[in-house]
Structure 1
């Protein structure tokens, strides 16, 4: 599955932080029940990879990837855990080849046109725009589109349900990323009903 297939699976990719791996499958089931198949588990906690492993084993219909990929040492463990894709907050050209060799779809982040051009030279045409709101939001993405018309984006960072539709209206945006379908407090409380409701609202968002 390539990165555009993953981003086209729905309008929102939940970006989640999991402190207890045992909650991973419940989270994934709640998101699926609400209509969201793709989930990015950030590698910011010791439980992250175990959560990915548990989701892959128990909720196979979920497309699960890892976020906050910062260096080569994280690639092997992510693959071993069963991640399908990887997301980085920024663009490091030294990560492109090893991530591809590992069989992961890759979504690195950029904030400027120069970074987007560098990523394009590395053969990438699908990028994360991060942090979206701080980097100029919808205005910036609309200005980028005419000069880099072949690049598609998943903006992430400061986006909520209320402003996601404005991003989704843009021709160069495939989906948005954010924590709003699965807030950390709801995950920690195991409040799967709330997450299912939020996921259903997120899955229905349109540009």
Structure 2
């Protein structure tokens, strides 16, 4: 969790081609971003993870939208250093732990946080954060689970990222506003670098404890 916690902002990116991976990395690094989640929503996901895994020591690469044990093995073999899922699946979590890679499953209820706790996890993704109540939901979950750390995702924007990161229990946030699909499709890497720089400039407040 350390690399993600240090990054604090994790762009969620879906790439149409593996060739977009390296210019994306250059743009994010130029903007001060140090971690990225490459989703498996496109056929290029695993290949992009593999391309980025050894590209730069300045960028920690993880996999997103991982929903099966087979995908866990695929992305870890490609070089993913953390694995994010939209929901919590015991088999997926167990496989990640067995292979020594951080799983961050999505949760939306206290029962799911309790399951994550029972599986030995100390970090979960809150998804979809905005629909669940945003920072208020995190604060509510922090009461019965004071040791759990949270990664809000879904509805995190440039306007609310600082508020999320100032919420106790939040160790990082993820979202697509720093690397929007339109900019990636257009190859507008300067725009991605600008958005990344604006995001990192907005998070002067210390992370949640």
1:155 aligned partner: 152
Stretches (4+) displaced over 6 A? none
Q: Secondary structure at the residue paired with 1:133? A: helix
The residue that corresponds to 2:180 in the other structure is 183
User: Within 5 Å, which residues of 2 pair with 1:1-207?
Assistant: 3=1, 5-206=2-203, 207=205
Work out the number of aligned pairs and report it. Answer: 204
CA contact (8 A) 1:11 1:205 kept: no
CA contact (8 A) 2:72 2:92 kept: no
Give the 3-state SS of the residue equivalent to 1:58 in structure 2.
coil
1: CA distance, partners of 2:49 / 2:57? 11
**What 5-or-longer segments of structure 2 have no aligned partner?**
none
Deviations 1:53-72 (A, max 9, x none): 11123334310010001011
For residues 12-64 of structure 1, the C-alpha deviation after alignment (integer angstroms, 9 at most, x for no partner) is: 10000101110101101110111001000000100111111111233343100
Q: Aligned equivalents of 1:140 and 1:58: distance in 2? A: 37
Structure 1 counterpart SS, 2:22: helix
Q: Which one scores higher on RCO, CA 8 angstroms, separation ≥ 6?
A: 1
Q: Equivalents in 2 of 1:84, 1:145: separation in Å?
A: 26
Farther off after superposition, 163-172 or 115-124:
163-172
**Per-residue deviation at 1:98?**
1.0
Shift of 1:137: 0.9
TM-score when normalising by structure 2:
0.94
Deviation, structure 1 residue 11: 2.5
SS state at 2:131 partner: coil
CA offset digits 1:69-113 (Å, max 9, x no partner):
101111121122111111001111122221112222111110111
Alignment RMSD, CA only?
1.1
Gaps of 5+ in 1: none
